[in-house]
Amino acid sequence: MGRRKIEIELVTDSCTRQVTFSKRRTGLFKKANELAILCAIQIAIIVFSPGGKPFSFGHPNVESIVHRFLNQEKAPDEGTSKDAESRDASKTDDNLNQQILDLLKRLNAEEKRGEMLEKALKAKRAAKGQPPIDQLGLPELGQLKRSLEDLREKLKDCIDEKEVLSAILLLSEQQPKKENQSENWV
């Protein structure tokens, strides 16, 4: 029994639809790869399964092609002028430089925050008469670890309790206030 022509319509059985999707997806990606190699093109395919899971294929990769598509960049071999290319490169460089500056600011802020926390920790340990952490032995570090784990568990319990209370509060606000139910029955 060879290949036979099928009518193109929605597969009604969900299990069969998933199997068909998997087989067709593999074939589609294979054909896209062949097209990219034979014609020296860039290609990207993004599909979602019937269950909503995304699958993608790209040659050379999906990210670069999607980025190029969204920014409508022209390929260098399309005959664009050198001025347009340099302006595009300049815009890209400016965007990257701005991102680097933003990240450096965040990094500096986090470093300062880390230094403040470290100073506060040292001051607290000194106030309790405890040596700095880097001078603790293995037994003391184990004890410190256990106490931190206990603290984490207490925090989790506290967070869970607050989430439950906020959910109850939201539910109580959503429920209409019933004044006298007995009057409604009579």
Concatenated DSSP letters for 97-119? HHHHHHHHHHHHHHHHHHHHHHH
> Is the domain of 141 the same as that of 130?
no
Task: For residue 131, give both structure tokens.
Answer: 């040596």
Instruction: Report how many domains make up the chain.
Output: 3
Please identify which residue in the block is written with the tokens 């050379």: 60
Q: How would you class 42 by CB atoms within 10 Å of its CB: exposed for 0-12, middle for 13-18, buried for 19 or more?
A: middle
Which CATH number fits the domain that encloses residue 36? 3.40.1810.10
Q: Per the domain annotation, does 185 fall within a domain?
A: no
Domain boundary residue among 43, 75, 107?
Answer: 75
Per-residue pLDDT of the chain (186 residues; tens, 9 = 90+): 678 888 889 988 989 999 999 999 999 999 999 999 999 999 999 999 988 899 999 988 888 888 888 887 555 554 455 556 656 666 777 777 788 888 888 998 999 998 998 888 888 877 877 777 777 788 888 888 898 999 999 999 999 888 888 888 888 777 665 554 555 554
> Is the domain of 127 the same as that of 142?
no
Dihedral over alpha carbons 110, 112, 117, 120 (to 10 degrees): -170
> Is the domain of 47 the same as that of 97?
no
Task: For residue 115, give both structure tokens.
Answer: 């230094």
Please tell me the distance from the alpha carbon of residue 28 to that of residue 54, in angstroms, as a whole number: 14
- Give the structural domain span for 160: 137-172
